[in-house]
């Protein structure tokens, strides 16, 4: 019963309209540019959706540009290329490379997208601006190097400095292309009296760094024609292994929690929109339905533990969720989505529209801990001259060549230890302190290291010093062993490392092994490599507690209005009350539940309010309540819909299957789904 104007939920789809994938969200992102685009846009609009368009900005079906049909010239030298001259391809197609965003390719994108404005879409999403760290050897990239640095190209693998500068140039080229495409198209739309918004769906800075990909990230905040972003966090990114207590493992919930955390800085402090993505399936096609559901719920709950965001892309590619077969546990046979799994997904998708809740209460009042992460971490992630192990979520990461680097232990060594003690740990985009005076206002402690990243400007240190002087606490971790300390940059020749300038700006002594007062705040220097704490984090936790002590807990939870969202990090925890279980396809009642390690909950508190609609696997519209209650329930064709309503007395008649609990005063309804809506009549 919510308006579509806020565009709280949406999905992307490249298939033609079909009732089985009509999720009844607020908007749909029609994917891809081809001869069917106009027809697909018109059909989804006819189904009642606000319509956007999505296409890739670094890859796509752009063969007419590559093979010369566009302008009579071959452009394969614009493909991202590895040191041996091999183009880097997207997926399994031999003719879809990742592109170097040259002026020529950017102009091609502008002209390719111009006709879309005439189709009346409300938004255009330019997804995944990506440049692989192992690329940088094509002729077009060499020319861009010469133009940008005003010196001859250097092989990125030749030195740490060459690799770092390669990353800087890649980010510049991606940002330049996005700025040009969005600015020109916005002007073209305004000239026709149309308002078109532009968004960038992008992986998190944490994932791009871990997967060794360069992207604009912090630059998106400064590009004037961009209206927001989609944080593309899902099982495929978040199950990338990392190390804690010396154990290499997938930690999907914990990683997703950190990914969603850093993604908020794509728009934090601005009026731009941000959606969190969930993916019920992920790109890997050979996992089981049980695996998909369990990991989807881990990312779902991780996202809901960030109450600053209340818009969601509920799924990419519904056709692969509802119309493709996958194995079940214990069987090699593939089958279409189990009925209860489909219902469970849809209960979550429809409940997400109600997460814009002003009443937010955390289960514990511990310190808010930030972990600084810079764009420059992307520039350092590929080992020059060594094997780095290409990874994009489809390989066996636990057997991958170079997997130790994939773990990104210099970050997770700092982030996981306080998180596993139940503290609110949030990665922070380091560059945001330059243009957002309040970037650190929500933090009590900031953890910073320059062993895997570098500050782009000295102004970062002056901003940090101001924050500490006003009462913040800063923990710097580093032993100065990173070879990238030696690159040419603003600190070179004046300071041994950039951390020395940080100490100067703070007026602190790096050699002191204790917390030092700085104004109303404190700073602590810890001379360790962050990766060391993936094995033994005792020193890290002790140093953090010098700055802000806390009581360890195994229960990370928040209440957003009537919704209790929580995760057990280790051990057990007991939840008591009167709740509906929103992760249960039957919407069962929970009065007491003992939760074990890794358990997750999303519960609706039945005592919080008295609204009539509690939860549903369908979208409730045209609600009319009197002696007779009538409404329509819209859902994809072929799913079984469960709805829970609050009703003071048992109804006389209901026109669908129903069950009533007189003690709880709840009526459960079940019926098959249809996008046109099942008309429900309840006579009291």
Quote the pTM value.
0.96
- Paired tokens of 138: 């094509």
Query: If pLDDT is split at 50, 70 and 90, which confidence band does 10 have?
Result: very high
Q: What's the pLDDT at 55?
A: 96
List the beta strands (DSSP E) in 47-90: 50-56
Average pLDDT over every residue of 76-94? 89
In 3D, which of 369, 346, 484, 349 has the Cα closest to residue 424? 369
Average pLDDT over every residue of 6-29? 97
Core vs surface per residue 617-653: b (16+ CB within 10 A) or e: bbbbeeeeeeeebebbbbbbebbbbbbbbebeeebee
In 3D, which of 576, 594, 580 has the Cα closest to residue 667? 580
Q: CATH says 368-547 is which class?
A: alpha beta
Domain spans of the chain, in order of start: 368-547
Q: What's the pLDDT at 673?
A: 97
Say how far apart CA 129 and CA 111 lie, in whole Å: 18
Number of C-alpha atoms within 13 angstroms, CB side, residue 473? 16
| Phi, psi for 227 (deg, rounded to 5) | -100, -5
- Paired tokens of 651: 């109804």
∠ CA 360-365-366, nearest 5°, is 130
Number of C-alpha atoms within 13 angstroms, CB side, residue 404? 6
Say how far apart CA 624 and CA 349 lie, in whole Å: 23
Torsion angle defined by CA atoms of residues 222, 227, 233 and 237, in that order, rounded to the nearest 10 degrees: -50
Q: Name the 3-class secondary structure at 187.
A: helix
Say how far apart CA 539 and CA 527 lie, in whole Å: 10
Q: What's the pLDDT at 664?
A: 96
Say how far apart CA 632 and CA 573 lie, in whole Å: 39
Q: What is the pLDDT of residues 457-503, one digit of tens each?
A: 999 999 999 999 999 999 999 999 999 999 999 999 999 999 999 99
Number of C-alpha atoms within 13 angstroms, CB side, residue 372? 27
Assess whether pLDDT exceeds 90 at residue 95: no
Quick one: 494 exposed, middle or buried, by C-beta within 10 A (0-12, 13-18, 19+)?
exposed
Q: What is the pLDDT of residues 640-662, one digit of tens each?
A: 999 999 999 999 999 999 999 99
What DSSP character marks residue 321?
Answer: H
Query: If pLDDT is split at 50, 70 and 90, which confidence band does 437 have?
Result: confident
393: left (phi > 0), else alpha (psi -120 to 50), else beta?
left
Asked whether the beta carbons of 93 and 168 are under 8 A apart, the reply is no
Q: What's the pLDDT at 399?
A: 59
Q: What is the pLDDT of residues 337-396, one digit of tens each?
A: 999 999 999 999 999 999 999 999 999 999 999 999 999 999 998 765 544 556 766 666
What is the percent of the chain where pLDDT is above 70? 97
Neighbours of 38 (CB within 10 A): 15
Say how far apart CA 77 and CA 488 lie, in whole Å: 29
Assess whether pLDDT exceeds 80 at residue 227: yes
Say how far apart CA 671 and CA 643 lie, in whole Å: 9
In 3D, which of 538, 672, 665, 575 has the Cα closest to residue 612? 665
Q: What's the whole-number average pLDDT of the chain?
A: 95
Number of C-alpha atoms within 13 angstroms, CB side, residue 23? 31
Average pLDDT over every residue of 295-319? 98
Q: What's the pLDDT at 414?
A: 98
Q: What is the pLDDT of residues 548-566, one digit of tens each?
A: 999 999 999 999 999 999 9
Say how far apart CA 625 and CA 195 lie, in whole Å: 38
Quick one: 432 exposed, middle or buried, by C-beta within 10 A (0-12, 13-18, 19+)?
buried
Q: Name the 3-class secondary structure at 424.
A: strand
Q: What's the pLDDT at 387?
A: 46
CB-based contacts of 129, cutoff 8 Å, min separation 6: 57, 58, 101, 174, 175, 177, 178, 200, 202, 215, 216
Say how far apart CA 401 and CA 387 lie, in whole Å: 7
Average pLDDT over every residue of 69-80? 94
Core vs surface per residue 77-92: b (16+ CB within 10 A) or e: bbbbbbeeeebbebee
List the beta strands (DSSP E) in 216-358: 228-231, 242-244, 247-249, 273-277, 312-316, 326-327, 334-335
Asked whether the beta carbons of 614 and 645 are under 8 A apart, the reply is yes
CB-based contacts of 334, cutoff 8 Å, min separation 6: 325, 326, 327
Q: What is the pLDDT of residues 242-271, one digit of tens each?
A: 999 999 999 999 999 999 999 999 999 899
How far, in Å, are 302, 322, 512, 632, 643 from residue 640 at the CA level? 27, 12, 64, 15, 10
């Amino acid at each position: 019963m919510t308006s579509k104007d806020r565009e709280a939920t949406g999905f992307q789809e490249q298939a033609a309209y079909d009732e089985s994938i009509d999720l009844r969200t607020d908007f749909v992102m029609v994917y891809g540019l081809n001869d069917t685009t106009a027809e697909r846009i018109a059909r989804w609009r006819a189904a009642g959706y606000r319509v956007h368009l999505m296409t890739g900005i670094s890859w796509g079906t752009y063969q007419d540009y590559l093979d010369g049909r566009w302008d009579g010239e071959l452009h394969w030298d614009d493909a991202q290329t590895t040191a041996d001259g091999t183009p880097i391809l997207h997926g399994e197609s031999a003719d879809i490379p990742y592109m170097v965003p040259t002026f020529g390719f950017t102009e091609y994108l502008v002209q390719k997208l111009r006709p879309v404005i005439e189709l009346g879409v409300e938004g255009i999403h330019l997804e995944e601006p990506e440049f692989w760290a192992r690329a940088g050897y094509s002729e077009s990239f060499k020319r861009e190097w010469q133009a940008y640095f005003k010196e001859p190209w250097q092989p990125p693998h030749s030195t740490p400095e060459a690799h770092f500068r390669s990353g800087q140039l890649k980010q510049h080229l991606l940002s330049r292309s996005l700025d040009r495409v969005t600015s020109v198209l916005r002007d073209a739309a305004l000239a026709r009296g149309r308002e078109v918004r532009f968004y960038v769906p992008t992986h998190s800075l944490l994932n791009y760094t871990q997967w060794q990909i360069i992207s604009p990230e912090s630059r998106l905040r400064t590009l004037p024609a961009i209206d927001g972003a989609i944080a593309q966090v899902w099982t495929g990114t978040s199950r990338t292994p990392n190390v804690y207590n010396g154990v290499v493992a997938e930690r999907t919930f914990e990683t997703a929690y950190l990914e969603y955390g850093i993604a908020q800085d794509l728009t934090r402090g601005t009026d731009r929109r941000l959606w969190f993505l969930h993916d019920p399936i992920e790109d890997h096609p050979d996992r089981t339905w049980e695996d998909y559901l369990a990991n989807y719920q881990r990312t779902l709950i991780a996202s809901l533990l960030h109450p600053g965001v209340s818009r969601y892309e509920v799924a990419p590619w519904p056709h692969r969720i509802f119309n493709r077969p996958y194995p079940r546990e214990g069987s090699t046979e593939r089958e279409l989505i189990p009925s209860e799994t489909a219902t469970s997904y849809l209960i979550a998708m429809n409940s997400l529209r109600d997460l814009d809740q002003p009443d937010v209460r955390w289960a514990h009042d511990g310190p808010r801990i930030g972990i600084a992460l810079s764009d420059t971490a992307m520039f350092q992630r590929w080992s020059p001259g060594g094997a780095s192990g290409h990874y994009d979520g489809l390989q066996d990461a636990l057997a991958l060549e170079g997997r130790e680097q994939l773990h990104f232990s210099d970050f997770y060594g700092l982030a996981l230890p306080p998180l596993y003690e139940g503290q609110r740990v949030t990665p922070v985009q380091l560059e945001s302190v330059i243009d957002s005076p309040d970037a650190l206002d929500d933090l009590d402690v900031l953890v910073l290291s320059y062993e895997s990243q570098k500050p782009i400007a000295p102004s970062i240190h002056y901003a940090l010093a101001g924050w500490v002087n006003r009462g913040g606490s800063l923990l710097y971790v580093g032993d100065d062993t990173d070879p990238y300390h030696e690159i040419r940059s603003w600190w070179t020749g004046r300071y041994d490392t950039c951390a020395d300038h940080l100490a100067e700006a703070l007026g602190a002594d790096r050699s002191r092994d204790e917390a030092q007062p700085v104004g109303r705040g404190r700073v602590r220097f810890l001379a360790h490599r962050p990766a060391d704490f993936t094995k033994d984090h005792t020193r890290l936790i002790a140093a953090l507690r010098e700055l802000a002590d806390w009581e360890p807990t195994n229960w990370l939870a928040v209440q957003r209005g009537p919704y209790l969202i929580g995760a057990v990090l280790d051990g057990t925890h007991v939840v008591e009350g009167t709740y509906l279980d929103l992760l249960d396809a039957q919407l069962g009642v929970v009065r007491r539940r003992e939760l074990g390690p890794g358990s997750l909950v999303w519960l609706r508190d039945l005592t919080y309010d008295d609204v009539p609609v509690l939860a549903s696997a369908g979208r409730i519209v045209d609600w009319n309540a009197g002696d007779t209650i009538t409404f329509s329930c819209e859902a994809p064709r072929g799913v079984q819909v469960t709805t829970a309503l609050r009703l003071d007395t048992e109804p006389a008649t209901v026109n669908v299957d129903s069950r009533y609990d007189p003690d709880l005063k709840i009526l459960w309804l079940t019926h098959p789904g249809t996008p046109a809506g099942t008309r429900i009549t309840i006579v009291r």
